[in-house]
């Protein structure tokens, strides 16, 4: 389900153009296997931003099958992506290899925060961060990544409206997503109130928070 009406989403996605036939095949197979990947409209938005801002290096938290990492790499971005599940990281590695993108994508296995702290070189820097993993841990991931972001780095956080529940908790009547809702609201307040970030929240896909890291001196 999308937070925008399904009809509007279908209309918008009528203009979706896959980056390549191979990427479309990977998208289709992920969707068929119900592997969660960025929605088409989210991909279109991120592609637009990347083409405009031209980040050289992107750090992603949440690899799954490697779809979004492959998409970013296909736009010429050098990607480091972190995946908690070794099985998923392995599958992603195979998908990236099959797409001929191994030289562009480095997959690290482990928790996002821990791996940033222990798996990245001290001076390693990125022009863009994409957060798309455990929904109640976004602030922890961002805080860990800050010292690795270049001044003016872009931060994109996906699923920040979580099917509308973040805006309206009555959409989660059983309280199943209570912690996610509380933590995601905290993340949105953090990137909106802290003067080091310039943030816009857009109701694209499942909700995207786009921030610019103004104080990028670490």
* Structure tokens given for 22: 């191979």
Residues contacting ligand SAM: total by CB under 6 A: 19
What's the half-sphere exposure (Cβ side, CA atoms, 13 Å) at 194?
16
Q: Tell me the closest approach of the beta carbon of residue 143 to ligand SAM, in angstroms.
A: 13
> Which helix H or strand E contains 170, and what residues bound it?
none
Number of Cβ within a 10 Å radius of residue 9? 17
Task: State how far the alpha carbon of 114 is from the alpha carbons of 35, 66, 108, 118, in Å.
Answer: 24, 20, 11, 6
Nearest CB to ligand SAM, comparing residues 62 and 164: 62
Nearest CB to ligand SAM, comparing residues 107 and 181: 107
Strand order in the sheet with 78-83: 105-109, 78-83, 57-61, 126-131, 149-158, 208-213, 197-202
Q: Tell me the closest approach of the beta carbon of residue 217 to ligand SAM, in angstroms.
A: 26
Q: Tell me the closest approach of the beta carbon of residue 132 to ligand SAM, in angstroms.
A: 4
Q: What is the DSSP letter of 163?
A: G
Q: Tell me the closest approach of the beta carbon of residue 151 to ligand SAM, in angstroms.
A: 25
Question: For 81, phi and psi rounded to 5 degrees?
Answer: -125, 140
Q: Tell me the closest approach of the beta carbon of residue 71 to ligand SAM, in angstroms.
A: 8
Binding-site member from 112, 164, 205, 207 for ligand SAM (CB under 6 A): 112
Binding mask 58-97 for ligand SAM (x = CB under 6 A): ---xx-x--xx-------------xxxx--x---------
Angle at 113 between CA 112 and CA 119, to 5 degrees: 80
- Does 183 bind ligand SAM (CB under 6 A)? Our answer is no
Binding site for ligand SAM (CB under 6 A): 36-38, 61-62, 64, 67-68, 82-85, 88, 111-112, 132-134, 137
């Amino acid at each position: 389900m999308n937070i925008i009406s399904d009809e509007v989403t279908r209309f918008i996605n009528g203009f979706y153009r896959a980056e390549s036939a191979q990427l479309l095949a990977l998208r289709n197979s992920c969707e068929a296997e119900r592997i969660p990947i960025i929605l088409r409209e989210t991909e279109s938005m991120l592609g637009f931003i990347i083409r405009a801002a031209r980040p050289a290096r992107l750090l992603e938290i949440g690899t799954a099958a490697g779809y979004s990492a492959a998409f970013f790499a296909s736009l010429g971005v050098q990607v480091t992506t972190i995946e908690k599940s070794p099985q998923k990281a392995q599958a992603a590695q195979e998908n990236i290899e099959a797409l001929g993108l191994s030289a562009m994508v480095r997959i690290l296995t482990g928790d996002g925060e821990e791996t940033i702290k222990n798996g990245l070189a001290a001076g390693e820097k990125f022009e863009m961060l994409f957060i798309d993993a455990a929904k109640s841990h976004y602030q922890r991931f961002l805080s860990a990544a800050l010292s690795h972001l270049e001044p003016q780095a872009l931060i994109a956080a996906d699923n920040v409206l979580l099917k509308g529940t973040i805006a309206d908790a009555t959409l989660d009547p059983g309280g199943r997503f209570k912690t996610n809702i509380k933590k995601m609201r905290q993340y949105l307040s953090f990137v909106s109130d802290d003067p080091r970030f310039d943030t816009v929240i857009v109701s694209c896909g499942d909700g995207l928070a786009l921030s610019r890291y103004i104080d990028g001196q670490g």
